[in-house]
């Protein structure tokens, strides 16, 4: 029997496209054979053009390619990063752009069409990105730890720079360029001021020099109090002339080392970080100080709207309350960087009401690619549906159709510069992201930053074909699994608008009972779910915290009315009785039970799907994903039991008998 099984396995491997070689995931989606010897000529030469030529020469398997820089009206209209593809893959192909970066992005797109088997018989297309700055934010510390990092230590080996250079720096830049990402903030928003010392700036310069041929600029997070902590000044008051001069001198020093430096990212007056409010000044005062220093060098200042300080108000309202009164007071090279939701990268949130509310200030969106609140690198959660849900949300700020994407990409409000950011999920693990499928979230962010009109299905299809195989027997079921995974996560963690029920300290497992007398109320899960004998949910209606008033009409009215509120967000905006009947016909309590159970069953279905696909995947990556899915299935049961058993102490209602019984005791889970 064992011999027959072995023969069958070999036959299945051959049928799937040949013997599968072991892979560790280090090549990401860039797995094309590099033995091609394509003919490539270019009308100009540079380090970036050399990268484009090499990529095509070693991977392109079609007709000769010409790389052509031409500053015509047509190419200028596509911007610095745009390009055209013309010709036939069988006879000749021309990539035309106004800049060398455009040629590089055109080369990668041509290879993507080849690798996904999407090449048309005749090429006639023009592409340009939706956002000018497409940036990864690394929350990496100088000791190489990563805040909210789940894939090993930081890629940046600060202790070895500038003398010893890891080959992964160029590999990282190449991966980003292949999906259109053109910026990298190297260090944590909770910034160590030492990053601005000359010792570290020389290290940063080394990284910038490696990134430059790939069109990737470096940015830095800065500590607002640096003039005091580094410069020895008595304060960091943004209106102090000595402070103003200190920043001008520091920026001049940076640009002398790195002429194409991108700018600064700032977290100020949030979670204990220093900022202008320490001196009675405003966010605008602080941002403009830095923006003015960067302006002569065309740098931008990204000022985070994540203001998270003790307040008696609903935390969801805080960013709006602090920034809307300052609208119009920021310089034109200031970007207000706004998290996708008003709380903190939850599995599902409504979009932040700040989008569109700043009528005269440039806004950029910040997503979290690293899965701080979505099971770390243990859970398969494909985030393109989450990203798209936010980008496609209609703010109604400038009338119907004022989506978050159109508000931030310059479509509705012409801007000096447009930008989008994602908190990176990379580390020094062999496969970069900890979980093989977490690579898809890095890929999806880049593709949506380039073109937010792509669908999650299109992006998943591309990524699967480039990362695994183009065999439809593999593509179809795995794509379905990916597209269902975010909703499954919402189901087994926090359905119907529940949010922030995580373990307080690590943001991983469930802790809906969490309350610490010596902690801030808005650190505690009980602050957000507000369960009692009547019902559950945070009342943000006009009768409650009135957070609904921060949304434009008709969203204000829709969210305010329990009958018209999107049920996916019901408990975000309403405190709902346990016996309230939902659209499904179930009471709220029963629906919660069914949703949690559905999430568990969906993850188990993912396991079955993956196990059936063993013949199509190399053994190493198959085993890693299989092991991770086991953890995810166990965690889903943990979440289901913890939340239902805890909330049952308030509802006093039975768990419906047609769903799986809890396997834990509440007292044990609390331990």
What angle do the packed helices 100-115 and 456-467 form, to 10 degrees? Answer: 80
Q: Which CATH class is domain 31-127?
A: alpha beta
183-185 and 123-127 strand pairing = unpaired
Q: Which residue has the higher pLDDT, 447 or 15?
A: 447
Q: Are strands 123-127 and 83-88 parallel, antiparallel or unpaired?
A: antiparallel
Question: In whole numbers, what is the pLDDT of the chain averaged over residues?
Answer: 96
| Confidence band of 310 (pLDDT split at 50, 70, 90) | confident
* DSSP notation for 468-523: T---HHHHHHHHHHHHHHHHHHHHHH-GGG----B-TTTS-SB-TT---TTS-GGG
CA dist 387 and 420 (Å) reads 11
- State how far the Cα of 460 lies from the Cα of 421, in Å rounded to an integer: 20
Q: What are phi and psi of 457, to 5 degrees?
A: -65, -45
Q: What is the pLDDT of residues 626-667, one digit of tens each?
A: 999 999 999 999 999 999 999 999 999 999 999 999 999 999
Q: Are 539 and 574 in contact (CB under 8 A)?
A: yes
The string of pLDDT tens digits covering residues 186-225 is 999 999 999 999 999 999 999 999 999 999 999 999 999 9
492-538+575-670 CATH: 3.90.1330.10
- Residue 640 has a CB neighbour count (10 Å cut-off) of 27
pTM of the model: 0.96
| C-alpha pair distances (Å), 156 with each of 173, 179, 421, 460 | 13, 21, 19, 29
Name the nearest CA neighbour of 341 among 545, 551, 89.
551
Note the pLDDT tens digit of each residue in 108-157: 999 999 999 999 999 999 999 999 999 999 999 999 999 999 999 999 99
Region 423-450 average pLDDT: 98
Contact present, 305 and 343 (Cβ < 8 Å): no
Count CB neighbours of 15 within 10 A: 12
How far is residue 388's CA from residue 345's CA, in Å, rounded to a whole number? 14
Residue 304 near residue 259 (C-beta atoms within 8 A): no
CATH superfamily of this structure's domain 133-299+308-314+341-454: Glycosidases (3.20.20.80)
Q: What is the pLDDT of residues 76-101, one digit of tens each?
A: 999 999 999 999 999 999 999 999 99
Neighbours of 19 (CB within 10 A): 9
Residues 268-299: tens digit of each pLDDT: 999 999 999 999 999 999 999 999 999 999 99
As a whole number of angstroms, the distance between CA 65 and CA 605 comes to: 45
The helix (run of H) or strand (run of E) holding residue 528 is helix 525-529
What is the C-alpha to C-alpha distance for residues 267 and 287, in angstroms, rounded to an integer? 10
Give percent of the chain above pLDDT 70. 97
At 220 the three-state DSSP class reads: strand
Given this model, what pLDDT does residue 407 score?
98
Annotated active-site positions, please?
271, 344, 372
- Concatenate the DSSP letters of all residues of 254-293 into one string: HHHH-TT--EEEE--SSTT---GGGGT--HHHHHHHHHHH
Q: Determine contact, residues 105/177, Cβ cutoff 8 Å.
A: yes
3-state secondary structure string, 107-169? HHHHHHHHHCCCCCCCEEEEECCCCCEEEEECCECCCCCECCCCCCCCCCCCCCCCCCCCCHH
Domain boundaries defined on the chain: 31-127, 133-299+308-314+341-454, 492-538+575-670
pLDDT for 555 equals: 98
The pLDDT tens digits of the residues spanning 457-487 come to: 999 999 999 999 999 999 999 999 999 999 9
């Amino acid at each position: 029997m064992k011999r027959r099984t072995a023969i069958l396995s070999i036959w299945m491997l051959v049928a799937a496209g040949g013997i599968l070689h072991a892979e560790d995931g280090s090549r990401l989606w860039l797995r094309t054979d590099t033995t091609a010897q394509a003919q490539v000529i270019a009308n100009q030469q540079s380090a970036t053009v050399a990268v484009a030529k090499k990529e095509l020469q070693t991977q392109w398997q079609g007709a000769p390619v010409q790389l052509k820089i031409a500053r015509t009206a047509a190419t200028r209209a596509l911007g610095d990063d745009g390009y055209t593809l013309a010709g036939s893959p069988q006879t000749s192909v021309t990539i035309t752009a106004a800049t060398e970066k455009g040629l590089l992005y055109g080369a990668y797109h041509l290879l993507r069409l080849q690798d996904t088997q999407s090449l048309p018989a005749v090429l006639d297309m023009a592409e340009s990105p939706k956002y000018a700055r497409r940036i990864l934010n690394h929350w990496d510390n100088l000791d190489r730890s990563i805040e909210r990092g789940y894939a090993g230590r930081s890629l940046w080996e600060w202790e070895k720079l500038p003398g010893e250079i890891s080959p992964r720096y160029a590999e990282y830049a190449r991966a980003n360029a292949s999906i259109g990402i053109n910026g990298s903030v190297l260090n944590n928003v909770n910034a160590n001021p030492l990053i601005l010392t000359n010792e570290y700036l020389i290290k940063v310069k080394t990284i910038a020099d490696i990134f430059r041929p790939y069109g990737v600029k470096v940015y830095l997070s800065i500590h607002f109090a640096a003039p005091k902590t580094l410069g020895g000044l008595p304060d960091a008051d943004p209106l102090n002339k000595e402070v103003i001069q200190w920043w001008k001198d520091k920026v001049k020093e940076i640009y002398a080392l790195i002429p194409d430096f991108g700018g600064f990212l700032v977290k100020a007056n949030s979670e204990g970080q220093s900022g202008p409010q320490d001196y009675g000044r405003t966010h605008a005062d602080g941002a403009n100080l830095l923006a003015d220093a960067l302006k002569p060098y065309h740098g931008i200042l990204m000022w985070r709207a994540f203001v998270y300080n003790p307040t008696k108000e609903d935390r969801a309202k805080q960013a709006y309350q602090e920034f809307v009164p300052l609208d119009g007071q920021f310089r034109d090279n200031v970007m207000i960087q706004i998290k996708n939701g008003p709380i903190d990268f939850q599995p599902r949130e409504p979009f932040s009401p700040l989008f569109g509310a700043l009528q005269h200030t440039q806004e950029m969106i910040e997503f979290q690619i690293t899965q701080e609140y979505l099971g770390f690198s243990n859970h398969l959660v494909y985030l393109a549906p989450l990203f798209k849900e936010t980008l496609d949300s209609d703010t109604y700020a400038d009338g119907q159709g004022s989506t978050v994407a159109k508000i931030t990409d310059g479509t509705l409000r012409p801007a000096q510069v447009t930008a989008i950011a994602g908190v990176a999920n990379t580390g020094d693990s062999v496969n970069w992201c900890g979980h093989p499928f977490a690579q898809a979230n890095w890929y999806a962010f880049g593709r949506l930053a380039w073109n937010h009109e792509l669908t999650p299905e299109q992006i998943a299809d591309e990524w699967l074909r480039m990362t695994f195989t183009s065999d439809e027997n593999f593509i179809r079921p795995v794509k379905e699994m990916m597209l269902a995974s975010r909703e499954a996560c919402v189901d087994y963690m926090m359905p119907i608008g529940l949010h922030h029920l995580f373990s307080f300290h690590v943001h991983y497992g469930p802790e809906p009972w969490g309350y610490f007398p010596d902690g801030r109320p808005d650190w505690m899960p009980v602050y957000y779910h507000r369960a009692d004998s009547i019902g559950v949910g945070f009342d943000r209606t006009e009768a409650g915290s009135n957070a609904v008033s921060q949304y434009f009409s008709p969203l204000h009215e829709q969210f305010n009315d329990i009958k018209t509120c999107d049920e996916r967000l019901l408990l975000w905006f309403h405190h709902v009785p346990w016996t309230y009947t939902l659209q499904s016909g179930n009471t709220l309590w029963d629906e919660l039970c069914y949703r949690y159970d559905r999430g568990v069953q969906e993850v188990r279905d993912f396991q079955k799907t993956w196990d059936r696909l063993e013949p199509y995947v190399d053994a190493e990556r198959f085993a890693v994903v299989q092991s991770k899915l086991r953890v995810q299935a166990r965690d889903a049961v943990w979440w289901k039991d913890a939340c239902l058993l805890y909330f049952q102490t308030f509802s006093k209602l039975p768990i419906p008998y047609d769903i799986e019984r809890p396997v834990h005791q509440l007292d044990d889970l609390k331990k």
